[in-house]
């Protein structure tokens, strides 16, 4: 495994519960597997900022679930001790002009989070 991803993995396991991707019983909805897959694909297809803008939208119940992904990545890459808003990562990248610097870290973090999902039980209901 990539050393950069490996260093994120232990913290990613915690963050999945912190941002409520996993419920209090340690179950993750099956949809999150697809959300994480589509997040990486969105970055490759559209770019980092458009992908984050799309995933930061909380206007529907499905969107609220997807918005947990940039929150988790923010906690993993920027600051694990705060509870970020859904658009915090996008605003950080825009305001700090850190897209080139953070893109590899964000991709690594999204992979680590997807791998960390495997440590939880899947709720297929």
Q: Which two tokens stand for residue 10?
A: 């232990």
Task: Give the residue numbers spanning the domain of 17.
Answer: 3-121
Nearest to 9 by CA among 57, 71, 61, 76: 76
Q: Is the pTM of this model over 0.85?
A: yes
Domains in the chain: how many in total? Answer: 1
Nearest-Å Rg of the Cα atoms of the chain is 13
pLDDT tens for the 125 residues of the chain, in order: 688 899 999 999 999 999 999 998 889 998 998 999 999 999 999 999 999 999 999 888 888 999 999 999 999 999 999 999 999 999 999 999 999 999 999 999 999 999 999 999 988 66
Q: Could you tell me the CATH number of the domain that includes residue 18?
A: 1.10.520.30
**How many Cβ atoms sit within 10 Å of the Cβ of residue 124?**
8
């Amino acid at each position: 495994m990539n050393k950069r991803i490996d260093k994120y993995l232990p913290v990613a396991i915690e963050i999945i519960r912190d941002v409520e991707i996993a419920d209090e019983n340690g179950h993750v909805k099956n949809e999150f597997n697809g959300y994480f897959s589509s997040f990486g694909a969105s970055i490759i297809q559209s770019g980092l900022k458009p992908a984050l803008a799309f995933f930061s939208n909380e206007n529907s119940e499905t969107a609220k679930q997807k918005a947990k992904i940039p929150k988790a990545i923010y906690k993993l890459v920027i600051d694990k001790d705060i509870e970020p808003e859904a658009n915090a990562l996008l605003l950080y990248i825009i305001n700090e002009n850190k897209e080139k610097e953070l893109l590899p870290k964000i991709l690594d973090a999204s992979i680590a989070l997807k791998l960390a999902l495997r440590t939880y039980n899947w709720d297929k209901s």
